[in-house]
Amino acid sequence: MNKVNIGIESLGFYSPRYYFPLSSLAQARGLDDDEKYGKGLWQEKMSVAPPNEDIVTMGASAAAYALEGVDKTTICAILFATESSFDYSKSAGIFIHDLLGLPQACMVLECKQACSSGAAALKISLGLLALQDSHKKILVITSDISLYELGSAAEPTQGAGACAFVVSTDPKILTIENYWGHHAKNVPDFWRPNYMLHPIASGKQSIENYLQSLQGAWQQYHQESNFQLQNIDGYCFHLPYSRMAEKAIIHLYKKLNKQTLPDEMFERCMLSTSYSKEIGNCYTASLFIGLLSLLENNASSLEGARIGMFSYGSGCSAIFFSGIISEGYAKHISQQHTRVALDERSPLSYDEYEKFHTFAVADASGNMAIPQYQTGRFRLDSVVGHHRNYATASS
């Protein structure tokens, strides 16, 4: 166990101001109804980023919220987890460091391994904090835009959003337990070569790999902790689409207990899927949006509850870990904030969706004025000499 409690002090969320209803997608793709997306995937809406939003603007909006009430001078590192990066060299976190006025004595790093790098960044941050004065804190940002080819089987599993959290020795929300399960294997289930705009997804294989990795990661976690599935009060699984949570818990339970899943175990992972149904896959951020969903939608207090977290990163590397919910955690989250952010989004028509989907922030000249739409606190303003310029939404 950790000698001092370390974990999540604050959580900030952001998803773009536009969404595309999956009923409209079903219609556009010639389906008779939206049952396949609703009942088959448990997806209702997907957030769509306008041309002037990217991983930086989304991550900065989420991080600004996570930093409310935190002394910024204590931030000694930014770990930015993403698989929607737009630069081989410069970390997206550098832009956020500037936008949020964080201290110059700060390490900034981008982390990559598909969806799992957010959970990996959390684990790395625990190690980094052990090297620092105890009052120092680390800002972890997970931010992604999941974009597949128009008309592909993966299209209904798109989404966009960010979750940022401050990791410190004052874990007001979740104390991380020091038990970790990992599983890694070189598999071609989902990847995006540097020269391609959209990932290549082998859908069925990716689901199979997800489930095998869950089993593998659980095995190590179980060996370290000695916990059984029943010792975990709530589950957050990586959610490429919301129904994956059902597939995950059924698979794991059957493999370990050789029995059908009881309803009571099923309930333990349902609340983590509420926001995902309305947002879609946010890759690195999905797991933490699931945690927020569980914390904000549980009718009774979760104080002292053990939460199991599973992150699957295609390719593949997976992590299972757990944390204990802090006393008084409810004072540090706001269901109303998240609800307003989701409810105030505007629906897109099919033509608008396609226009946003196909907009490319790239031009041989390296100079581009970016069309302006509604954003959160920050927006992409222009590209000058191939360099992105950001601004606050009001400027």
* CB-nearest residue to ligand HMG: 40
Helices 263-270 and 244-257 sit at what angle, rounded to 10 degrees?
Answer: 140
Under the binding rule (CB under 6 A), the answer on residue 281 touching ligand HMG is yes
> Which one, 7 or 159, has the nearer CB to ligand HMG?
159
Part of the chain binding ligand HMG (CB under 6 A), chosen from 16-24, 179-187, 203-211, 324-332: 203-211
Under the binding rule (CB under 6 A), the answer on residue 36 touching ligand HMG is yes
Part of the chain binding ligand HMG (CB under 6 A), chosen from 8-16, 36-44, 64-72, 350-358: 36-44
| Least spacing, CB of residue 284 vs ligand HMG, in Å | 8
> Which one, 43 or 57, has the nearer CB to ligand HMG?
43
> Which one, 52 or 82, has the nearer CB to ligand HMG?
82
Under the binding rule (CB under 6 A), the answer on residue 280 touching ligand HMG is no
> Which one, 113 or 338, has the nearer CB to ligand HMG?
113
Site size toward ligand HMG, by CB under 6 A: 26
Whether 161 contacts 141, CB under 8 Å: no
From the candidates 76, 111, 115, 282, which is the catalytic residue?
Answer: 115
> Is 238 one of the annotated active-site residues of the chain?
yes
Part of the chain binding ligand HMG (CB under 6 A), chosen from 100-108, 178-186, 309-317, 352-360: 309-317
At 332, list the tokens: 């540090």
Under the binding rule (CB under 6 A), the answer on residue 150 touching ligand HMG is no
Under the binding rule (CB under 6 A), the answer on residue 245 touching ligand HMG is no
| Least spacing, CB of residue 40 vs ligand HMG, in Å | 2
Site for ligand HMG in 79-118 (CB under 6 A): 83, 114-115
Return the closest-CA partner of residue 341 out of 176, 161, 195.
161
At 389, list the tokens: 């310029």
Part of the chain binding ligand HMG (CB under 6 A), chosen from 33-41, 54-62, 342-350, 378-386: 33-41
Part of the chain binding ligand HMG (CB under 6 A), chosen from 14-22, 121-129, 154-162, 217-225: 154-162
Residues in contact with 165: Cβ distance below 8 Å, sequence separation at least 6, in sequence order: 8, 9, 10, 11, 12, 66, 122, 139, 140, 173, 288
Return the closest-CA partner of residue 57 out of 106, 92, 18, 19.
92
Under the binding rule (CB under 6 A), the answer on residue 249 touching ligand HMG is no
Site for ligand HMG in 161-200 (CB under 6 A): 190
Q: Single out the residue of 45, 137, 238, 268 in contact with ligand HMG (rule: CB under 6 A).
A: 238
Q: Which residues contact ligand HMG (rule: CB under 6 A)?
A: 35-36, 39-41, 83, 114-115, 153-154, 156-157, 190, 201, 203, 206-207, 210, 238, 240-241, 281, 283, 312-314
Active site residues: 83, 115, 238
